[in-house]
Structure 1
Amino acid sequence: MFIGIDLGGTNIKGIIINKNGDVLKQHYIPTQDTGDGSWRENVKEMVIYLKDFLKEPILGIGLSAPGLPNEQNQCIAYLPNRLNGLENFMWGEYLGEATYILNDAHSALMAEVKFGVAKDKKNVVLLTLGTGVGGGILINGQLYQGLSQMAGHLGHISVNATDNNTSIVGMVGSLEYAIGNYSIEARTHGRFTSTWALVEAHRKGDYFATYTWLSSIQKLAIGISSISNALSPEMVVLAGGLTLADDALYEPLKTFMDLYEWRPGGKKTEIVQAYFGDMAGAIGAAAFVQSKLM
């Protein structure tokens, strides 16, 4: 049995899974980030609750969190200005169990690869489309974390070098700026405050909304095509809240991919909707620790 924890700014989500990925228990508690690091006690409370429910030994704990883990995946080494007390905190010592820490987007990838739509695939890219754009990369069946564990930050590739708007890491014309919900007011000159409102207006025939939405999807297709050229994955998995736009996303994306993707021999990169939703981080964290210990 394995415990998976997804540490978010608002809630802590926890699960117990067995080796087959069956979720035996899931639980939510508020993070309560008051700035003094006391939120870590809530993580311990979650672990105690899940262990008491199970009433038998666990093999390990996986923790999904924002930021960049250290090389051994023992802690989050870099996350400025959020969740005070997270950086360099050694969770294994604190929780008294073998504990592995993973970036939250990497956890979402692991959930899909181990138990979801990318099961049995060897080369996969996942993009999370939400407030920003995150991602993860699987190469030859292994999570690729790269130097400083920062691989997979695919929202910070550039899809328009002439656009001087920069992402949080300073990249001009980033994919994250092009489609992330955080930039929607700037991209629409204040006309829309959420991507959901933009998509609804597009569906109702608002020409400005349609122009803005399709421009964003065009840049997403350019980004995916660029990633495909660099990594040649078997599958690209799309996750996150924006994917709930369904056909309003996937139909124009298919059209733009037909324009931009290089397809030697007629082979297309398969683009699929993620299977896991709200609990993807916790499931992926548990899958990661399972891969480490079995």
Structure 2
Amino acid sequence: MSDELMNVLGIDIGGTKIAVCLADSQGHVLASQRLASGATAPYEQVLPQIIGQARQLMVETGLANSIAACGICAPGPLDMVGGRIMKSPNMAWDAVPIRDDLAKALELPVYMDNDANAGVLAELFFGCAKGKKDVIYLTMSTGVGGGIIANGRLVTGVSGIGGELGHLVLDVNGPICGCGQLGCLEAYCGGRNVALRLQDALRYRQDHALMRLPEVDGKLENLNFQTVREGAKLGIPLAVAMWDEICMRLAQGIGLCMVTFNPEMIILGTAAYYAGDFMLQPVLAHLPKFAWKEFRSACEVCITVLGPKVGELAGASVALNGLAESGKLQL
């Protein structure tokens, strides 16, 4: 990142929350605010809230006349050419022209990208990938996504949808994924799919040790990814087995990324941030089965240092990348 300081607006859009922030090109969050509603509410209702919050932050910080650009981070699928957020299972919006709407209202250049690409940009600009040229970031939350930086540039492919690493197929006879394929990385490691598999396993086993955990309270719907993690820490056999499979399949996905891209760093997102070495160490132990030593020795596998802050910085990072791509910011 150059010494030139630029201020940008970032908007992080999710099904249950929308965050608006002001940040500078040195990674400082100058102001931020969450909206009361997310993208499950109608677009016509939420858009004025986003615009109003953005304007309010610019006025409160005294930066209304010194914002260089706005960046939007949103779950896919996105129409990158038309600047629209398309229909998503977790959102009530369908083909909404948010880029042009915000550009007109805020009188700023507006850039947009999906949450995984925005995540790797945040790591590149502000996280543990600073100064790196070949980096992969795996989002690990409800699902699994991927953002790829190769030779300092974001990789999106000919159709703009490259990097869907969560849908690498690891086993054609594996569990079904939300995308409809069998055996995706996300089917094994995504929070939603892990929860569904655990609930199916314990549907008629009310007396199981995992059902008696305080956070579960005997309710099937309370079983989730965290239940597996905490149960494995307690040595409960079903949780231990599921956790080992999660870590093994994650190592398999990481190995495929190493062999394909030969990156210098692979960063693990939210789930790994909260699990720490309890996830990282077994993943590293499984990794030799899936990648040669030459790939492994060239690549550091680490956990994000941004944690919950990655959401705040994701939209801002999209704006900074857009400015850099257009030649307005020297990185």
| TM-score above 0.5, yes or no | yes
- Kindly indicate whether residue 281 of structure 2 is the aligned counterpart of residue 251 of structure 1: yes
- Kindly indicate whether residue 184 of structure 2 is the aligned counterpart of residue 174 of structure 1: yes
Deviation at 1:209, TM superposition (A): 1.1
Structure 1 runs (4+) deviating above 6 angstroms are none
Structure 1: distance between partners of 2:43 and 2:58: 26
Provide the TM-score with structure 1 as the length reference. Answer: 0.92
Deviation at 1:47, TM superposition (A): 0.8
Mapping 1:65-76, distance limit 5 Å: 65-72=74-81, 75-76=83-84
The residue that corresponds to 1:64 in the other structure is 73
Structure 2: distance between partners of 1:108 and 1:61: 16
Change in CA separation of 1:218 and 1:224 when aligned onto 2, cut-off 3 Å? same
The residue that corresponds to 1:53 in the other structure is 60
- Kindly indicate whether residue 149 of structure 2 is the aligned counterpart of residue 138 of structure 1: yes
Asked if 1 retains the 8 angstrom alpha-carbon contact of 2:71 and 2:110, the reply is yes
Asked if 1 retains the 8 angstrom alpha-carbon contact of 2:74 and 2:114, the reply is yes
- Which of 23, 39, 42 is the equivalent residue of 2:29? 23
Asked if 2 retains the 8 angstrom alpha-carbon contact of 1:68 and 1:76, the reply is no
Q: How many residues align?
A: 292
Which stretch of the first structure deviates more once superposed, 136-145 or 284-293? 284-293
Structure 1: distance between partners of 2:95 and 2:56: 21
- Kindly indicate whether residue 130 of structure 2 is the aligned counterpart of residue 123 of structure 1: no
1:197-216 CA-partner distances (Å, limit 9, x unpaired): 11111111111211111011
The residue that corresponds to 2:311 in the other structure is 281
Q: Which runs of 5 or more structure 1 residues have no equivalent in the other structure?
A: none
Which SS does the other structure have where 1:49 is aligned? helix
Change in CA separation of 1:148 and 1:92 when aligned onto 2, cut-off 3 Å? farther
Provide the TM-score with structure 2 as the length reference. Answer: 0.82
Structure 1: distance between partners of 2:54 and 2:295: 50
Change in CA separation of 1:292 and 1:186 when aligned onto 2, cut-off 3 Å? closer
- Kindly indicate whether residue 263 of structure 2 is the aligned counterpart of residue 233 of structure 1: yes
- Which of 205, 216, 229 is the equivalent residue of 2:235? 205
Q: Which runs of 5 or more structure 2 residues have no equivalent in the other structure?
A: 1-6, 203-209, 211-222, 324-328
Structure 1: distance between partners of 2:58 and 2:113: 21
Deviation at 1:242, TM superposition (A): 4.5
- Which of 106, 109, 117 is the equivalent residue of 1:98? 109
The residue that corresponds to 1:44 in the other structure is 51
Structure 2: distance between partners of 1:182 and 1:190: 14
The residue that corresponds to 2:205 in the other structure is none
Asked if 2 retains the 8 angstrom alpha-carbon contact of 1:107 and 1:282, the reply is no
1:123-155 CA-partner distances (Å, limit 9, x unpaired): 111001111101101011011122332112111
The residue that corresponds to 2:225 in the other structure is 195
